[in-house]
Amino acid sequence: MGWALLLAKRAAIGAMIGIAVSDELVSLARMQGSSMEPTLVAGKSLMEGDVLLLDKFPGHDFGFSRGDVVVLRSPHEPQYWMVKRLIAVEGDMLRVPGKRELVQVPKGRCWVEGDNANVSLDSRNMGPIPMALLKARVTRVVWPLERFGRVESILPTGRIVAHGERPIR
């Protein structure tokens, strides 16, 4: 009976550590929606599509970089999560695709876009969003195995006209 109690205690401690790591450092998520195709692929069912490794640590100090693929709360429907590419941060002046206008990103805000512009609901529709909505960086596709690999941080060329105080990393 003593070994069963010891095993139960170790399992409980392991579960608590696992939950803490999942809540604070990393977690897995399944890609839904087509706004990030072809970079990330959504499935038509629960068992299809990319499974993503999320690094939640950058969110603690706003350590996100331009070009990162990020997970954020929807500004209009906070019960939903969105996956987008971080294009610009506060103080940046950027060109809006398909328009002749320049936008300066206000303090505490950022500009995010989906890689699949034809279907993405993003800053092109909503304008700059609060930086505090960013919760994690997508670092890898871990499933399916044939797509296993790093998710690259890529900033589209020619979009940033002038930089704010935060340097491009």
Residue 84 is a catalytic residue? yes
Strand partners, 149: 141
Q: At residue 167, does pLDDT exceed 80?
A: no
23-62: pLDDT as tens digits? 455 788 777 889 999 998 987 766 788 998 998 865 444 5
User: What percentage of the chain carries pLDDT values higher than 70?
Assistant: 77
Give the pLDDT confidence score for residue 4 in this predicted structure.
52
Give the confidence band of 138 by pLDDT, cuts at 50, 70, 90: very high
Longest dimension (CA), the chain: 74
Residue 35 is a catalytic residue? yes
- Set 65, 84, 99, 123: catalytic member: 84
In order, the DSSP letters of 117-167 are TTT--SHHHH-SEEGGGEEEEEEEEEESGGG-EE----PPTT-EEE--SSP
C-beta separation of 24 from 56 below 8 A: yes
What is the CATH superfamily name and number for domain 26-162? Umud Fragment, subunit A (2.10.109.10)
User: How much is the average pLDDT of 61-83?
Assistant: 88
- Set 35, 120, 123, 153: catalytic member: 35
| Strand duo 109-113 + 134-143: pairing | unpaired
Give the confidence band of 18 by pLDDT, cuts at 50, 70, 90: very low
Q: At residue 122, does pLDDT exceed 90?
A: yes
User: Positive or negative CA dihedral for 96, 101, 102, 107?
Assistant: negative
CB crowding 76-97: b at 16 or more within 10 Å, else e: eeeeebbbbbbbbbbebebbbe
User: How much is the average pLDDT of 134-150?
Assistant: 91
Q: At residue 103, does pLDDT exceed 80?
A: yes
Question: What are the residues whose beta carbons fall under 8 Å from the beta carbon of 149, sequence distance 6 or more?
Answer: 140, 141
| Domain ranges, ordered by start, for the chain | 26-162
Q: pTM for the full model? A: 0.79
